[in-house]
Structure 1
Amino acid sequence: MRFPESFLHFIWQFRLFKALNLFCTTGEPLVILAVGMANKHAGPDFSQAKLSIGERTWIGDVEIHLKSSDWFSHGHQDDPGYVAVILHVVYEHDQPIYRKDGSEIPVLILKDLFPEGLLTNFEGLVNSIHTFPCEKLIHGIDPILVNGVLSRMMIERLAQKSDLVFDQLAKVNGDWESTFYHFLAKSFGFKVNEIPFEFLAASLPLAVIRKHLDHPLQVEALVFGQAGFLFGTFKDAYPQKLKREYRFLQKKYGLIPIGVGAWKFLRMRPQNFPTLRLAQFCALLLKSDRLFSKVLEIEHLPELQQMLKNLPVNPYWKTHYHFQKEAKKVEIQLGSGSVFHLIINAICLFISAYGKYSDQPDLINRGLQLLEKIPAENNVITKSYQQAGVSIDNAFFSQALLQINKYYCVQKKCLNCGIGIKILNQ
């Protein structure tokens, strides 16, 4: 047996076996009236199945195993949750199983009841050495089906990320502005420095920053100080001023900075250095108070792009990538790709999450429609699907591909993917 138990779940759930003239190992005829509902929690694999065994009709649970003896290796004999099992579905029957009252649980053997090609297709997917299991096959799947699956993946991704938003919202007593600040900071980390940016936001409450929005130097001191960059010796006047301001503010608010060692510079282009990202983050905070409220008011993509452009970044960064070394010329504004990254990962997410939270479907749709107007992300993952024949028209579909890759393709959960199921049935 070279397949997981989930393969048999798939066979049972979608009735991909010969269903006529079935018999249990006890010799009784079996008619499957309803396979039941798949159970994703503890307990038998399928509930509310309806079966005719012999001359009686049963409604109850179905348990599925590769071998009958797995009943004992999984400890079901001592679990009261399995007393309502009316059928044991197995690939191989190696041992009879009895209930507490001494009656034998009927067994259906699937081994010779489904097409051999089904197992061959499944093994070809899960044993694939390609970038993703169906890399060599997906080009033959109807694009309408592929797009339908990806649309469901995008909704699933949005739901998962919205749950993270709601978790953070609960930590700050329902303050949407503070929650948006937290996720905006995380997005400014651009994956490589996502974690230290998140730590920074956690260590520096938005309420503290708001008190100093009329004093840009103090906001910059708070951000760079909390990031751990103001504890050295500086030759330039600007970082010296930041250091003096931060010492005072740190004592005033009892702030504990994160370690500077958390930030990553290696193998990065200078324009992506965390110091420059921090300067841009400061500038965005200074450009507009109550950013989340402003985001909710903006309906069109160009306006959102404009909000993230022409930031009042301190002129010091025109000639520096960090505090210790001067550069000839530095582009201090966010590039188009960076702007789209922030809109995708923070703004679209929050518009839709707030729509879900406040029961405003129009906001959920606005977030999704914005993704459809943004160019598709270009990275190693999206390239692999594109090269395999998948059309990626916009960020809606590139985000969906990131979801399906992480939670299905990498984990080889082809049996839970509409594309995988289609390939298996071909």
Structure 2
Amino acid sequence: MKEDFLYFIWKFQYFKSIQLCTDQNENLEIISTGLQNHDAGPDFLNAHLRINGIEWHGNIEIHVKASDWKKHQHSQNRAYDNVILHVVWENDFNVFRKDHSLIPTLSIKNCIDPKIQDGYTSFRLNDDVIACGSQLENVSRLHKLAMLDRVFLERIERKAGKILQQLQHSNRDWEECTYRTLAEYFGFKVNNDAFQRLSSIVPIRLLKLHAYQPLQVEAFLFGSAGFLSDEANSPYMKKLHREYKFLSHKYAIKEKEMSLHEWKFLRLRPANFPTIRIAQLSSIIINIPHLCSAFLHISSLESFIRFMQHPTSEYWHSHYHFGKTSQKPISAFIGKSALQSLLVNVVVPLQFAYGTDRNESRYKEKAIQLLEAIPPENNKFTKLWKGYSIKNNSSLDSQGLIELYTQYCQKNRCLECSLGVQVLNSKNKH
């Protein structure tokens, strides 16, 4: 038995409520179950009960076992002083208030409709990737749209929140914050951590100071990333070595230099090698003087693709790695799918975060409109939803579907999802 099921049972009152009594044999009438609390403190707030004819207003705490109250040390937490009912699956412990009065307990183990419990059990034992997938056709389109909107907002607010945390770490420098956010996503998941560390070693202000000399920007990044530790075997590499030796001494960054083992190449397509991505990032920094301002003005995928069409230096037109010549010519530009990913994961959250920080809704609305205009994503998460009666017409839908799967389906949070609740409700009606 899980607490989330008990929350569901209490919230929707799926138990025999006629002539309900507490475990202390007091008549209990539930006027309002209260509002579910997803933060710290009691599970339901501002409930309204009538116990033995006396009305009570307060909070509800729910546990599988009553003794969990002691295990969770609620007695030492003043947030639980106003609990008026302890709802449990199994009552194995009496809970008292600070004035030593007993908190009424309701055991609901024997009060639950068996159909609801069976439906919940089938959820828990379902091996399907989407536990309720086969039942989604029974959920109304309105509920699907509402849930997708909800999880999309949760996702974009979480991403924006991460950017706002980065803003604080960057001393509220929006340009530095944008650069670090962009650099991290140039890792395209596999090398995100490494790119994040690289951007922390070389701040944007140093790169901008030397942007008029492109070779120095590349030397900064490749050297700090640890790629210039080997012997130089080409004129290009010799120049990078020379520039990095000067820059690392001038700015005292040699001791912060990364190790090659921090970078991952295994099972990556050559176009995704970190060497190629660093060359592309260098080109962006060299050619775009004000990253933050530029990204805030992006309004379409097409304009973003045009804006980011800056070729890498000539060496990377024929090399995926230092000293290794490619048999085939290499594109000098970032691919369209990669740019769409950067737009969705960097530009849109940045616009939303900026609007949140400045309290300017136009930037947040612009971010949402931009996602609505971008074609749907086609990745391992969105593919999971194919065949189910749920839409994926734009990147806004895709972001909602990704959030729904990774934060709800994958974590078995079916009873916190309105789709799962609707499926269980429909089973209860039959």
What is the TM-score of this pair, normalised by structure 2? 0.92
Residue in structure 2 matched with residue 316 of structure 1 by the alignment: 315
Of 50, 53, 59, 2:51 maps to 53
In structure 1, what is the Cα distance between the partners aligned to 2:374 and 2:300?
11
Alpha-carbon spacing, 1:152–1:79, altered in 2? closer, same or farther (3 Å): closer
Residue in structure 1 matched with residue 150 of structure 2 by the alignment: 152
Output aligned runs, 1:199-348, within 5 Å: 199-255=197-253, 256-309=256-309, 311-328=310-327, 329-348=329-348
In structure 2, what is the Cα distance between the partners aligned to 1:91 and 1:318?
66
Alpha-carbon spacing, 1:14–1:313, altered in 2? closer, same or farther (3 Å): same
In structure 1, what is the Cα distance between the partners aligned to 2:130 and 2:168?
37
Residue in structure 2 matched with residue 161 of structure 1 by the alignment: 159
Q: Which amino acid aligns with 1:298?
A: I
For 1:188-227, what per-residue CA distance to the aligned partner results, in whole angstroms no more than 9, with x for missing partners? 1111111111111111000000111111111111111111
Detail structure 1 runs of 4+ shifted over 6 Å in the superposition: none
Native 8 Å contact 2:300 2:374 kept in 1: no
In structure 1, what is the Cα distance between the partners aligned to 2:96 and 2:287?
72
Alpha-carbon spacing, 1:95–1:194, altered in 2? closer, same or farther (3 Å): closer
Native 8 Å contact 1:287 1:312 kept in 2: no
Of 194, 197, 203, 1:196 maps to 194
Instruction: Give the SS at the match of 1:13.
Output: helix
356-365 vs 52-61, greater mean Cα deviation: 52-61
What displacement does 1:23 show? 2.0
What displacement does 1:40 show? 3.5
Native 8 Å contact 2:311 2:332 kept in 1: no
Alpha-carbon spacing, 1:71–1:301, altered in 2? closer, same or farther (3 Å): closer
What displacement does 1:20 show? 3.0
Q: What is the root-mean-square deviation of aligned Cα atoms in Å?
A: 2.0
What is the TM-score of this pair, normalised by structure 1? 0.93
What displacement does 1:38 show? 2.6
205-214 vs 139-148, greater mean Cα deviation: 139-148
In structure 1, what is the Cα distance between the partners aligned to 2:21 and 2:64?
18
What displacement does 1:312 show? 2.9
Residue in structure 1 matched with residue 168 of structure 2 by the alignment: 170
In structure 2, what is the Cα distance between the partners aligned to 1:125 and 1:264?
38
Gaps of 5+ in 1: none
45-54 vs 211-220, greater mean Cα deviation: 45-54
What displacement does 1:73 show? 4.3
Instruction: Give the SS at the match of 1:44.
Output: coil
150-159 vs 378-387, greater mean Cα deviation: 378-387
Instruction: Give the SS at the match of 1:121.
Output: helix
38-47 vs 176-185, greater mean Cα deviation: 38-47
Q: Which amino acid aligns with 1:189?
A: G
Output aligned runs, 1:109-124, within 5 Å: 109-124=107-122
Q: Which amino acid aligns with 1:365?
A: E
In structure 1, what is the Cα distance between the partners aligned to 2:100 and 2:187?
62
What displacement does 1:392 show? 1.2
Alpha-carbon spacing, 1:375–1:239, altered in 2? closer, same or farther (3 Å): same
Q: Which amino acid aligns with 2:236?
A: Y
Instruction: Give the SS at the match of 2:29.
Output: strand
In structure 2, what is the Cα distance between the partners aligned to 1:43 and 1:327?
60
Native 8 Å contact 1:276 1:332 kept in 2: no
Output aligned runs, 1:346-385, within 5 Å: 346-385=346-385
Q: Which amino acid aligns with 1:371?
A: L
Native 8 Å contact 1:21 1:30 kept in 2: yes
In structure 2, what is the Cα distance between the partners aligned to 1:423 and 1:218?
59
For 1:304-348, what per-residue CA distance to the aligned partner results, in whole angstroms no more than 9, with x for missing partners? 121112x13111111111111111311221111011011111111
Residue in structure 1 matched with residue 105 of structure 2 by the alignment: 107
